[in-house]
A and B are shown apart, each in its own frame.
Chain A
Amino acid sequence: MVGPLIKGLMVTLKYFFTRPITVQYPKKKVGSFERYRGLQAIRRNKDGTIRCVACGLCEAVCPSKAITIEIGEDEQGRRYPISYILDGYRCIYCGFCEDVCPVDAIYLTREYENVRYKREELLLDKDILMQRGEVVK
């Protein structure tokens, strides 16, 4: 009867001396995996213009209808999004928009801390998405 009791005590004692696996989250971060699908961003051209050509494919493919695009055209007849709104709360981070984009404009980053104080702060518009995005060489 006493044997298993002592065995149990030894197990807890062993764990008492092992290093805690807790990560002090806001101070230290674990990070996300390489192929993690997080908050979106849109790539910029070298001259700072948006890469998106407003084809509307991402809007069409989005299963949760998180993307709303208003299409415009400049003097050279090049299409660009007048407004591009991505609702971070509607988005299910499936990555279809990245797959379908013909010019590799929109893509999902590894950013996982997508919690905001207000709802509006996750209604990402064109400028925010472009700010987050990388520049294409």
Chain B
Amino acid sequence: MDLGMLVFIVIKILVVFGLVMLTVAYLTLLERKVLAHMQVRVGPMFAGPHGILQPIADGIKLFFKEDIVTKQADKVFYFLAPALSIIPVLMIFAVIPFGDKTTLFGLLKEPVELRITGLRIDILYVFAMSGLATYGVVFGGWSQNNKYALIGGIREAAQLISYEVAFTLSIFGVVMVAGTLQLDKIVEAQRNVWFIVYQPVGFLIFLTASVAELKRTPFDLPEAESELVAGFHADYSSMKFAMFFMAEYASIVVCSCLGTLLFLGGWLGPSILPPFVWYLIKVFVLIFVIIWLRATYPRLRYDQLMKFGWKFLIPVSFLNIFVTAIVILLVR
């Protein structure tokens, strides 16, 4: 690998990282605005016109807040947990494609892929990394030596183990139809029909399980404010808290990107708009749906959560795989 290639990759990483961080920052504003309007309020209005500078103000505030370390905390894991929760999420962005091969409007001689790198097992890599992200939350909950945080961490572990199964199984249908694990090839396979048409049940399971994975309402038991103070990040402050939050919002972006790539045809769309714009529109529609769900549903009880996961979602996703497999066998 020559030096030019290395510089090119570094630039790609920085661009993707910057874009993701910007999206994550403005996702907080988007969420507050959407939630507010669904409750017939207006949301943040003072920092800039219509609160457009609110994320920046929040960031500055979090930087200058006191970094509290409680006496009873297990220092090593206490410091490790925020990093462990955000790094795997950011690493997933390494394989997420953002568009078709492009020459950047004729700027480059050879077309480049709009992604940092591609693996032949993209989807497996995504699942491995999203599984790792659980450790951050569990360590964070445990290391604070605080009962609320511990309950939050345990709930998170149990919830993720239950829903990771359905989350993974829901994508198997897509993988079977497309016949590949590479994300860009899966998008190319949707050239004629989006997979949401072939896999409507799979898409619904994917959406439900990903909301549970993201630990958002109605599945936000790990950080249930009304019962656990703040759940697994009860004793975190300042940038450590912000890192947990960035991890949460970055995983919303990841899940929306995955949903777009796997079910909604990625960057494909009528050529009136460039592919990247189509991609962005679809991602933001999914993000909006996730916020919309939060604005609508109350939190599930813990036994309801487990019952729903094990007795409904997982059998249905197995059935979905089964039916998909039979149909594929019959058609071919």
- Which of chain B's residues 135-181 have a Cβ closer than 8 Å to chain A? none
Beta-carbon nearest neighbor of A5 in chain B: B297
Task: Label chain B's interface by main secondary structure.
Answer: helix
State A12–B34 Cα separation when bound (angstroms).
Answer: 10
State A24–B43 Cα separation when bound (angstroms).
Answer: 11
Q: Is the CB of B292 within 8 A of A21?
A: no
Beta-carbon nearest neighbor of A2 in chain B: B204
Q: Is the CB of B45 within 8 A of A20?
A: no
Supposing A20-B42, A22-B42, A24-B45 touch, asked if A9 and B37 sit within 8 A by C-beta, the answer is no
| Residue B109 is within 8 A (CB to CB) of chain A in the complex | no
Q: Is the CB of B296 within 8 A of A11?
A: yes
- Distance in Å: Cβ of A14 to nearest Cβ of chain B: 9
| Residue A33 is within 8 A (CB to CB) of chain B in the complex | no
CB contact between B295 and one of A12, A22, A24 (< 8 Å): that residue: A12
- Which of chain B's residues 23-52 have a Cβ closer than 8 Å to chain A? 34, 36-42, 45
Q: Which residues of B contact A11 (CB under 8 A)?
A: 296
Q: Which residues of B contact A19 (CB under 8 A)?
A: 40
Q: Is the CB of B38 within 8 A of A8?
A: no
Q: Which residues of A contact B45 (CB under 8 A)?
A: 24
Q: Is the CB of B292 within 8 A of A12?
A: yes
Interface string of A80-102 (1 = CB under 8 A from B): 00000000000000000000000
A-side interface size class: 10 to 19
| Residue A16 is within 8 A (CB to CB) of chain B in the complex | yes
Q: Is the CB of A9 within 8 A of B40?
A: no
Task: Label chain A's interface by main secondary structure.
Answer: helix
| Residue A15 is within 8 A (CB to CB) of chain B in the complex | yes
Interface string of B270-308 (1 = CB under 8 A from A): 000000000000000000000011011100000000000
Q: Is the CB of B34 within 8 A of A16?
A: yes
Q: Is the CB of B296 within 8 A of A9?
A: yes
Q: Is the CB of A12 within 8 A of B296?
A: yes
| Residue A114 is within 8 A (CB to CB) of chain B in the complex | no
Q: Which residues of B contact A24 (CB under 8 A)?
A: 42, 45
Q: Is the CB of B40 within 8 A of A20?
A: yes
- Distance in Å: Cβ of B285 to nearest Cβ of chain A: 13
Q: Is the CB of B40 within 8 A of A18?
A: yes
CB contact between B38 and one of A5, A12, A22 (< 8 Å): that residue: A12
- Which of chain B's residues 176-203 have a Cβ closer than 8 Å to chain A? none
- Which of chain B's residues 41-77 have a Cβ closer than 8 Å to chain A? 41-42, 45
Supposing A9-B292, A24-B45 touch, asked if A15 and B297 sit within 8 A by C-beta, the answer is no
- Distance in Å: Cβ of B317 to nearest Cβ of chain A: 16
CB contact between B40 and one of A5, A8, A13, A21 (< 8 Å): that residue: A21
Q: Is the CB of A15 within 8 A of B292?
A: no
Q: Which residues of B contact A5 (CB under 8 A)?
A: 297
Q: Is the CB of B297 within 8 A of A8?
A: yes
Q: Which residues of B contact A9 (CB under 8 A)?
A: 292-293, 296
- Distance in Å: Cβ of B112 to nearest Cβ of chain A: 39
State A5–B39 Cα separation when bound (angstroms).
Answer: 18
Can you list 27 A-B pairs, Cβ within 8 angstroms, ordered by A? A5-B297, A8-B296, A9-B292, A9-B293, A11-B296, A12-B38, A12-B292, A12-B295, A13-B38, A13-B292, A15-B38, A15-B39, A15-B40, A16-B37, A16-B292, A18-B40, A19-B40, A20-B36, A20-B37, A20-B40, A20-B42, A21-B40, A21-B41, A22-B40, A22-B42, A24-B42, A24-B45
Q: Using CB atoms and an 8 Å cutoff, list the residues of chain A in contact with chain B.
A: 5, 8-9, 11-13, 15-16, 18-22, 24
